[in-house]
A and B are shown apart, each in its own frame.
Chain A
Amino acid sequence: MIFFKKYKLSFVLIFIVTLVAVGTYFFAFSNAKAKKPISYNKDIRPILSDKCFSCHGPDVNKMKAGLRLDIQEKAYAELPNNKGHYAIVPGSIEKSELIRRIESNDPNIVMPKPESHLARLTPAEINLFKQWVKEGAKYEKHWSFVAPQKTAVPKVSNTSWVKNEIDYFIAEKMEEKGLSPNKEAEKENLIKRAYIDLNGLPPAYTELQTWMSNKSENWYALLIDQLMNKPSYGEKMSVLWLDLARYSDSYGYQDDNIRTQWPWRDWVINAFNKNMHYDEFLTQQIAGDLMPNSNKETILATAFWRNHKYTEEGGVIEEEYRVTNNIDKTRTYGKAILGVTIECAQCHDHKYDPFSAKDYYQLYGFFNMSKEKGYEGDVSVSTPAKNPKLFISVEDRKNLLTYINTKDTNQLEVSVMGDTIRPTYLLSRGRYDAPADLVQPAALKSVMPFDTTKFERNRLGLAKWTVDKKNPLTARVFVNFIWQDIFGKGLVKTSGDFGLQGELPTHPELLDWLAVDFMEHNWDIKYLVKKIMSSATYTQSSIIEKQHLEKDPDNSYYARAPRIRLKAEFIRDWVLSTSGLLNNTIGGPSVKPYQPKGVWESTTSGRGQLAAYKQDHGDALYRRGMYTFIKLTAPPPSMMMFDASNRDQCEAKRSSTNTPLQALNMLNDPAVLEASRVLAQKLSSETGSIEDKIQKAFELILIRKPKSSEKDKLVGYYQDQETYFKSNKGLIQKTLSTGEYKTVQKDKNELEAAALMKTCLLLYNLEEAITKS
């Protein structure tokens, strides 16, 4: 939320930016040209996809002039409307109509047509096409639909830097760009980073000291292992999956009532903690109810599908929402697991990717067999789960589902999967009331054939197809999500779209190497995470030098470690944990911490259990951020301000903004104020000089020792505050009574505690406090 209006300036800016950009681009192009022959996948297909496929691509209904450019034979064929002419004649620029069209200045001839609002090709792009045609106009299958291969690691000159295979791939590109890596990060930085990436929590003061004084050679490997074995590892890893799986605590449409999907959330945490391998993790969630050894635990896993919204609005048409819910499942499967956007094919053949409407409904067919109804009645007859349901008794929790954490002695109910026999029809234009041809369930054949001798035509077959080692997408997509979680962006930046319109990987060979290596290690997630975190790429410093900003401002070549603001949930965790307030209970029903007044009340219709926000008290106020109750229609504001997913749909990547509302939140959120107060009181009750206390607060929050200049400033600030409170004695008590937490010990020195409280608040508001660096 930045509020500027500068039209005139922006015009000028854009003009100049473009001039310079075009210049840079020509330069870049001439470099590229000198180097390698044209690659269809890298050079040509992105342009075709962007500029041509909407009329000359996979969507046969929208095809113009009978020309398809996405398939080699069709592109080479005689033009149906222009006999004797050919769009592409390999080797001949002169005979290729495509070249004439993209070069023409005649608005009636030029492609793309002006009315498409697609800008014409740049001279450099035209040259690429010419060279490609000259070199034989060779087509290639889309890179991500070809199974990954493990190539030998490249040769690099900086052999002293590399720690594992990852670094060879990174160094090769870096050297190509004339960049050199940063030196190794400071030890305290590495500790902070590892805690964030593996636990989403800061090290406790004593833990920090222990690791700092650990002089063993393999201390870092030990640290990783230890953090991976803490239960908070599962919590940290789950947040990524909860975004993809659109987890929430309410049904999401306008009369937004409570539901009980949290036992599934606890299943996820437990799965990560026991290091369930990714193939098993997926299989149970996709088809846990259909597995030969299925039990309540594997059935619980299938609640994954049922996390989507569920309407309780009076008077809806049941079938319309049953279809809507299955469309959501199909989209989630595509984006979260295969990294493709298939929803376009819901209404028409996909315009860019080789997915027909029939392919779409075949995939949809797996979910269409679910027994569920689209509507079970309005909010007045609401239940915590919708059919089919899994009932979890106290017995079940004692024996099998021991990680489900609730004192509630009633049996729990969770929405899960269960199939029936239901035929699937292709729905014309995606409309629930326009069924057309009957289709058989099958997975996307252009990704990998769905061989029915190996795969059943149900979700179990789909699960097997998904985790088949020949599937070109599953491993790549997951490896990329993990990379994104650690580095802030994926090797494929469009982590939810590996299709033709998605971005190309910055390091394709590395992505493939990691994907194959991951599968070779039986989809072992801890192995993968450790591999990445053990690389020199990860352990280098995050200092940003001039060369970085000039040559690689976006850090696409990893010549430095990233600096990333913590995710919303982990900001909360950081504040609670460093202040000592954190309640580290794992799982259970979500909780309702402090929240500004009226967030639920101002939006509700007044119906349902969630009309008014009933804030929790006591211990429940200090649970980790991931347990904050998510009411879909009014999600927790502090989380939303820090770019948390609104969980409305599968979300592959959060944005990372830097806004004034975030500043207001960190300065005025009662949770931060309370944590500052509690931490200050704790420090104040300890022995030692005020300098020591301030230093300790600094180390607790920033995970490093302050420089003397920093310490001087903070002590100066503290002294100012002391003076301030001396002349405003009435404010001391107010400062020390912020928040509901009752400090047991009476403050020995209230003035000191109050002035320290302000100092702690200041520390929490430093940029570095909530940044992984």
Chain B
Amino acid sequence: MKEFIEHGLNQNRRKFLSKLSLGIGGMALGSLMIPGIFDASNEEDLFNNVLPHFAPKAKRVIYLFQNGAPSQLDLFDYKPMLQKMHGQDLPASIRGGQRLTGMTANQTKFPLAGTRFNFTQNQNTGAYFSETIPHIASISDDLCIIRSLYTEAINHDPALTFFQTGAQVGNRPSMGSWISYGLGSENKNLPAFTVLLSKGKGNGQGVYSKLWNNGFLDSIHQGVQFSSGEEPVKYLSDPEFIDRTDKRKMLDELADLNQESYKEIGDPEIVTKIQQYELAYRMQMEVPEVTSLQNEPESIVKMYGPDCLLPGTYAANCLLARKLSESGVRFVQLYHQGWDGHNNLPNELIGQCKDVDQPSAALIKDLKQRGLLDETLVIWGGEFGRTNYCQGALTKDNYGRDHHPRCFTIWMAGGGVKPGVYGETDDFGYNINTLPVHVHDFHATVLHLMGVDHEKFTFKHLGRRYRLTDVAGNVVKEIIS
């Protein structure tokens, strides 16, 4: 019976598309125009996947992923108690049964490490910022700071995978792929989901393409890597012996020959192929324009810092993220390596912050001055937190911190979030006192801001309906403006 329904749907969507003069070959085009329709095996998926489910607050997302896990205790979650008890053992009652990574599991002592840095407090919101991030502190009136994020994973790979795909293992679609699938792109010449990569000087943890993979969704929803260098998208540049006029000629000739074979063979995929070559041609025009940072005015360069003109830096990627987002890219996913401070953390942190602080703040200010901050959700954070006790040797001003899943801080700005501080950890910065936010809750909230009900937004694959939030997740309503 399902077969009949599908059959009926197939027939009719094809009739439609041909009436829209896309031709039946417009199939692939249609799948983004009408998100989910081709995968809908029954009318329920069809209706559930009509997006957005309600008016969105955020139209676009820029996710500044701080890969390796920055220390919340040295940046946002100020704990004078740790400074007071510096060097004393973490009370067993606080640690509870928390499992430890292989790196500190054999430690006999867990000496607390108070932060070496001074903190300032925002008088309006009560948020704390360490001296290493003055620029971020300067925009604190715009920030929604969640100090009570938690996760189950204690190693980088599963933790990152969890944040990006809603599951620690498995080949599930990335957040950006879900958004691409659900909402499509606002710019027909650019992909809905783009990825930017950079590295800091601190101890790094690699990234992997699975993080921006489409999983079981169609591969058109895979994140497309962009950069501001010579070749912003792979295979975008023509060889030096082919210029634009020449390329145009080749495409016309191709279209002509393909059209001839379409007339004979009748396969709609041929028409799609012609359209995709045209789209590729338009991308070749549009992408370099968007990714070129050379024409940015002096004031912008000053705002993001001089590194923003060096392709592949975090600063350049923040600026590029703004430009892509401004051009209608739905989901810009940025990764910055170097936060994995198992030892020598304070010194590495200073270096990381030098790269990250100014451009992160500049992005918020820049979006704001363009009137885009209201409709753009910016997210800043890592895959878990770091321990309050020291890994390795503890001295007065140097220490390392291991992975800590039980509490950590992320911040968001714009896109319908309420500035302020949400959630609280205990005096040791080890456990959450109030308002815990799980990774699933975080996903549910981001989807909600995009106008998507995370429980209804499903994709049926091998007999099961999958969601970004798996079978859990609650929207954190309190942080929505």
Q: Which residues of A contact B (CB under 8 A)?
A: 1-7, 9-11, 13-14, 16-18, 20-25, 28-29, 32, 42-43, 46-47, 49-50, 117-119, 122, 124-125, 128, 253-256, 311, 313-318, 324, 327, 341, 344, 351-352, 375, 433, 494, 496-497, 499-504, 506, 542-546, 548-550, 553-554, 556, 563, 565, 596-599, 602-607, 632-635, 637-638, 640, 643, 646, 648-649, 655, 657-665, 667-669, 673, 707, 709-710, 713-714, 717, 720, 724, 731, 734-735, 738, 758, 761-762, 765-768, 771, 773
Contact partners of B258 in chain A: CB under 8 A = 766-768
Which residues 231-260 of B have a CB within 8 angstroms of A? 231, 233-242, 246-247, 249-250, 253-254, 256-258, 260
CA distance A30 to B157 in the complex (A): 53
CA distance A43 to B191 in the complex (A): 41
* Residue pair B283, A494 in contact (C-beta under 8 Å): no
**Known contacts A17-B37, A657-B220, then 12 further A-B pairs from the complex at CB < 8 Å, ordered by chain A residue:** A20-B12, A24-B8, A25-B5, A28-B5, A29-B4, A119-B42, A375-B102, A549-B268, A596-B231, A664-B283, A668-B235, A710-B257
Closest B residue, CB atoms, query A379: B206
Tell which of A124, A496, A603, A663 touches B276, judged by Cβ atoms closer than 8 Å: A663
Contact partners of B249 in chain A: CB under 8 A = 717, 720
CA distance A256 to B328 in the complex (A): 34
CA distance A663 to B105 in the complex (A): 52
Contact partners of A632 in chain B: CB under 8 A = 208, 210
* Residue pair B265, A254 in contact (C-beta under 8 Å): no
* Residue pair B103, A658 in contact (C-beta under 8 Å): no
Which residues 249-283 of B have a CB within 8 angstroms of A? 249-250, 253-254, 256-258, 260-261, 264-270, 272-273, 276-277, 279-280, 283
* Residue pair B8, A659 in contact (C-beta under 8 Å): no
Given contacts A21-B9, A317-B99, A646-B210, contact A496 B462 (CB under 8 A): yes
User: Would you call B190 an interface residue if the criterion is a C-beta within 8 Å of the partner chain's C-beta atoms?
Assistant: yes
Closest A residue, CB atoms, query B274: A767
Tell which of B43, B102, B160, B229 touches A122, judged by Cβ atoms closer than 8 Å: B43
Closest A residue, CB atoms, query B5: A25
* Residue pair A605, B16 in contact (C-beta under 8 Å): no
CA distance A255 to B328 in the complex (A): 34
* Residue pair B260, A16 in contact (C-beta under 8 Å): no
Given contacts A29-B4, A502-B463, contact A597 B254 (CB under 8 A): no
* Residue pair A655, B206 in contact (C-beta under 8 Å): no
Q: In whole Å, how far is B239's beta carbon from the nearest beta carbon of chain A? A: 6
User: Would you call B44 an interface residue if the criterion is a C-beta within 8 Å of the partner chain's C-beta atoms?
Assistant: yes
CA distance A599 to B92 in the complex (A): 45
User: Would you call B312 an interface residue if the criterion is a C-beta within 8 Å of the partner chain's C-beta atoms?
Assistant: yes
Closest A residue, CB atoms, query B272: A658
CA distance A605 to B202 in the complex (A): 11
CA distance A2 to B221 in the complex (A): 9
User: Would you call B46 an interface residue if the criterion is a C-beta within 8 Å of the partner chain's C-beta atoms?
Assistant: yes
CA distance A649 to B250 in the complex (A): 40
CA distance A637 to B272 in the complex (A): 22
* Residue pair A46, B207 in contact (C-beta under 8 Å): no
CA distance A3 to B3 in the complex (A): 30
* Residue pair A16, B273 in contact (C-beta under 8 Å): no
User: Would you call B155 an interface residue if the criterion is a C-beta within 8 Å of the partner chain's C-beta atoms?
Assistant: yes
User: Would you call B434 an interface residue if the criterion is a C-beta within 8 Å of the partner chain's C-beta atoms?
Assistant: no
Contact partners of A375 in chain B: CB under 8 A = 102
18 residue pairs A–B, Cβ–Cβ below 8 Å: A2-B28, A2-B32, A5-B185, A6-B34, A9-B33, A24-B4, A28-B4, A351-B464, A602-B197, A633-B210, A657-B218, A661-B235, A664-B236, A709-B260, A731-B241, A735-B241, A758-B250, A773-B267
* Residue pair A658, B273 in contact (C-beta under 8 Å): yes
CA distance A343 to B463 in the complex (A): 12
Mark interface residues in B14-58 (1 if CB within 8 Å of A CB, else 0): 111000000010001101111101000011101110111000000
Tell which of B102, B185, B247, B279 touches A660, judged by Cβ atoms closer than 8 Å: B279
* Residue pair A634, B102 in contact (C-beta under 8 Å): no
Contact partners of B256 in chain A: CB under 8 A = 713
* Residue pair B24, A658 in contact (C-beta under 8 Å): no
Closest A residue, CB atoms, query B102: A315
CA distance A565 to B272 in the complex (A): 13
* Residue pair A14, B254 in contact (C-beta under 8 Å): no
**A-B Cβ contacts below 8 A, count:** 353
CA distance A637 to B236 in the complex (A): 13
* Residue pair A21, B157 in contact (C-beta under 8 Å): no
Q: In whole Å, how far is B285's beta carbon from the nearest beta carbon of chain A? A: 12
Q: In whole Å, how far is A495's beta carbon from the nearest beta carbon of chain B? A: 10
* Residue pair A664, B8 in contact (C-beta under 8 Å): no
Contact partners of A596 in chain B: CB under 8 A = 231, 234-235
Contact partners of B170 in chain A: CB under 8 A = 649
Contact partners of B246 in chain A: CB under 8 A = 724
Most B Cβ at <10 Å: residue of A1, A324, A351, A661: A1
* Residue pair A3, B190 in contact (C-beta under 8 Å): yes
CA distance A768 to B273 in the complex (A): 10
User: Would you call B7 an interface residue if the criterion is a C-beta within 8 Å of the partner chain's C-beta atoms?
Assistant: yes
Tell which of A256, A315, A633 touches B103, judged by Cβ atoms closer than 8 Å: A315
Mark interface residues in B181-193 (1 if CB within 8 Å of A CB, else 0): 0011111111110
Contact partners of A314 in chain B: CB under 8 A = 102-103
Most A Cβ at <10 Å: residue of B15, B102, B224, B463: B463
Tell which of A254, A640, A714 touches B205, judged by Cβ atoms closer than 8 Å: A254
User: Would you call B171 an interface residue if the criterion is a C-beta within 8 Å of the partner chain's C-beta atoms?
Assistant: yes
* Residue pair A544, B280 in contact (C-beta under 8 Å): no
* Residue pair A655, B219 in contact (C-beta under 8 Å): yes
Tell which of B16, B267, B337 touches A13, judged by Cβ atoms closer than 8 Å: B16
Which residues 113-156 of B have a CB within 8 angstroms of A? 154-156
Contact partners of B31 in chain A: CB under 8 A = 2
8 closest cross-chain pairs (CB), A and B: A501-B463, A119-B44, A24-B8, A633-B208, A3-B185, A315-B103, A605-B206, A663-B280
* Residue pair B276, A254 in contact (C-beta under 8 Å): no
Tell which of B13, B37, B279 touches A663, judged by Cβ atoms closer than 8 Å: B279
Given contacts A119-B47, A603-B208, A663-B279, contact A17 B187 (CB under 8 A): no
User: Would you call B79 an interface residue if the criterion is a C-beta within 8 Å of the partner chain's C-beta atoms?
Assistant: no
Contact partners of A23 in chain B: CB under 8 A = 8
Tell which of B220, B269, B403, B455 touches A2, judged by Cβ atoms closer than 8 Å: B220
Which residues 359-407 of B have a CB within 8 angstroms of A? 402-403
User: Would you call B213 an interface residue if the criterion is a C-beta within 8 Å of the partner chain's C-beta atoms?
Assistant: yes
* Residue pair A767, B12 in contact (C-beta under 8 Å): no
Contact partners of A658 in chain B: CB under 8 A = 28, 269, 272-273, 276
Contact partners of A637 in chain B: CB under 8 A = 234-235
* Residue pair A657, B28 in contact (C-beta under 8 Å): yes
Q: In whole Å, how far is B78's beta carbon from the nearest beta carbon of chain A? A: 27
* Residue pair A661, B280 in contact (C-beta under 8 Å): yes
CA distance A767 to B260 in the complex (A): 11
